[in-house]
Amino acid sequence: MSGKCVICGKPKDEKFKPFCSKRCADVDLNRWFAGGYAIPASEEDEGEDKEERQ
């Protein structure tokens, strides 16, 4: 068990890597479902993609 849990900072558990417990794994999953993690994009990027597809 080296390193720390990416959610709470406790030591990692190999069973739940990179987390320390199922609870922290579930917290992370909930953040994904709620849209807490997102890659920022500008509107210009979206416009360029539309032009390329046409």
Token readout for 12 is 């990692």
**Within 10 A of 21 (CB to CB), how many other CB atoms are there?**
16
Condensed to tens digits (0 to 9), the pLDDT of residues 1-54 reads: 479 999 999 999 999 999 999 999 999 999 999 998 888 888 775 555 556 655
Q: The whole model's pTM is what?
A: 0.65
CB-CB contact of 7 with 19 (8 Å): yes
First-residue to last-residue Cα distance in the chain: 51
What are the domain boundaries of the chain? 14-53
Q: Which H or E run contains 23?
A: helix 22-33
